[in-house]
């Protein structure tokens, strides 16, 4: 019987996982990973600030839509085959102990992404996966006998029985053109996971301040909860990144010029903010507005918010009056800022968009357009908020492809 020839295009997280899974299942198959860069797994090496947040405990996830704004339904189905527990066991069984942080993010105990890179390279070596670096795949042609011909930037074309495309995100879309040419629908790619530029000197002077907030885009359903970090360029932190992820396409359409409303007192509603403030004022009429705040906000932020609400910090609470209190309630619960562009978060971003999920079989991730062609990882229209969910998607989809590509 002729040897089954499999090409994996892209030597990243999903590609390596697919290659190793396929070879473990069919040791007689020839599995070759083609990587355009001189080193494979270069992105994994820099994930999580060099520590690699490789998955999440999912303890605080009630609904996958919260963490996978795109692809939640497919992920729900595929996680049955390889979830965060499988990921944990996979790496630990291969000598990489893991730890779960208080925020439920999972890292290697070594706190070094190279432990993950080293483990994947060692597994590829152990199973005899061939790795060809500095080799960019530029085209794919389906042949009449069911095989697929790959064209390279340099070098002669080669034929394969099966091909998996694991080329990762492509925020400008250039890496998706050759796949679109085959007839795949591409969901237009836009960046996700970014911070907000806000041109308000008084706000940015509070840089370094962290507060638990609710942040939303007025007139839309987009909102997020969590810590907000004031930076020298505007706003960052988990709440902002989450909002940027859920509203990635909406904000791109607005050219990143939009309004955001901050509720500085987290999950309290306007009514609750009002009630707390009124009872506080009744109990503390002689205290000064600047020295006492009932929400435990950092004092610099509190002074800034009083000023935004038009209240002097030296006033007594009894002198503030109903109008003043109303203004303060509005500022605390619905403080609107103009976003003027986006920034990066520790150079970390993912692509929202990619190969439309309607074009792939939801059990095998085989293309519905080209037989024997599979997709895994960020090249698919699946992406997540921060916290290890993006790499989990790469492991899960890589595993599913590795399993089915040899069937
Ligand atoms: C700085 C940074 C930090 C991150 N940190 C985290 C984190 O801690 N946790 C987390 O869950 N997610 C993190 N992410 C997101 C995560 O890294 C990605 O979602 C994940 O790597 C996607 O895996 P992938 O295999 O699909 O793509 P990639 O890892 O990007 O791999 C794709 C590979 O394909 C190669 N390639 C592309 N086109 C071709 C071609 N035509 N021919 C040959 N090769 C090609 C690329 O060079 C690349 O090596 C981070 C992202 C960045 C940018």
Q: Which two tokens stand for residue 335?
A: 């403080």
Please give the share of the chain, as a percent, with pLDDT higher than 90: 85
Domain 5-191+350-405 bears CATH identifier 3.50.50.60: yes
pLDDT for position 389: 98
Q: Sign of torsion, CA 87 90 94 100?
A: positive
In 256-402, which ranges are E strands?
Answer: 257-263, 335-340, 342-344, 350-355, 373-375
Mutate to test the pocket of ligand 1, among 7, 10, 178 (most ligand atoms within 8 A of CB): 10
For a substitution probing ligand 1, which of 38, 47, 140 has the most ligand atoms within 8 Å of its CB? 47
pLDDT higher than threshold 80 for residue 267: no
CA-proximal residue: ligand 1, atom 23 (nearest): 13
Share of the chain above pLDDT 70, in %: 99
pLDDT in tens, 164-178: 999 999 878 888 999
pTM of the model as a whole: 0.94
Kindly list the protein residues whose Cβ atom lies closer than 6 A to any atom of ligand 1.
9-15, 34-37, 42-44, 46-48, 52-53, 136-137, 166-168, 175, 347-350, 377-379, 388-391, 394
Closest listed residue to residue 127, CA positions, set 20, 258, 43, 201: 20
Return the residue whose CA atom lies nearest to atom 3 of ligand 1: 47
Average per-residue pLDDT in the chain? 95
Antiparallel, parallel or unpaired: β 350-355 and 186-192: antiparallel
**1-to-5, 28, 126, 373 alpha-carbon distances in Å:** 12, 10, 24, 21
Q: Sorting pLDDT into bands at 50, 70 and 90, what band is 1? A: low
Q: What is the mean pLDDT of residues 251-272?
A: 93
Domain ranges across the chain:
5-191+350-405, 194-348
């Amino acid at each position: 019987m002729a040897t089954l020839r499999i090409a994996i295009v892209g030597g990243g997280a999903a590609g390596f996982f697919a290659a190793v899974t396929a070879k473990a299942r069919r040791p007689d198959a020839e599995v070759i990973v083609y990587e355009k860069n001189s080193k494979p797994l270069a992105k994994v090496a820099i994930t999580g600030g060099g520590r690699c947040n490789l998955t999440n405990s999912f303890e605080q996830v009630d609904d996958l839509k919260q963490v996978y704004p795109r692809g939640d339904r497919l992920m729900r189905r595929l996680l049955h085959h390889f979830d965060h527990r499988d990921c944990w066991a996979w790496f630990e069984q291969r000598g990489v102990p893991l730890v779960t942080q208080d925020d439920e993010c999972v890292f290697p105990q070594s706190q070094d992404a190279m432990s993950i890179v080293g483990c994947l390279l060692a597994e590829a070596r152990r199973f005899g996966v061939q790795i060809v670096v500095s080799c960019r795949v530029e085209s794919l042609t389906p042949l009449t006998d069911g095989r697929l011909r790959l064209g390279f930037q340099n070098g002669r074309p080669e034929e394969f029985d099966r091909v998996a495309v694991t080329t990762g995100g492509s925020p400008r879309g250039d890496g998706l053109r050759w796949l679109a040419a085959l007839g795949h629908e591409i969901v237009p790619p836009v960046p996700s996971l970014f911070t907000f530029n806000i041109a308000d000197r008084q706000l940015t002077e509070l840089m370094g301040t962290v507060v638990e907030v609710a942040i939303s885009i007025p007139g839309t359903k987009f909102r997020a909860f969590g810590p907000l970090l004031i930076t020298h360029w505007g706003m960052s932190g988990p709440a902002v990144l989450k909002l940027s992820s859920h509203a990635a396409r909406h904000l791109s359409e607005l050219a990143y010029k939009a309004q955001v409303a901050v509720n500085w007192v987290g999950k309290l509603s306007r009514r609750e903010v009002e009630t707390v403030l009124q009872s506080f004022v009744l109990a503390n009429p002689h205290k000064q507005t600047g020295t006492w705040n009932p929400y435990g906000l950092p004092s610099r932020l509190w002074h800034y918010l009083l000023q935004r609400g038009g209240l002097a910090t030296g006033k007594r609470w009894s002198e503030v009056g109903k109008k003043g209190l109303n203004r303060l309630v509005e500022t605390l619960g619905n403080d609107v800022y103009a976003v003027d562009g986006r920034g990066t978060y520790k150079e970390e971003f993912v692509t929202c968009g990619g190969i439309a999920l309607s074009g792939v079989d939801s059990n095998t991730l085989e293309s519905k357009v080209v037989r024997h062609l599979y997709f895994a990882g960020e090249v698919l229209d699946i992406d997540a908020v921060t916290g290890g969910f993006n790499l989990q998607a790469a492991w899960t989809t890589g595993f599913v492809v590795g399993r089915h590509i040899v069937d």
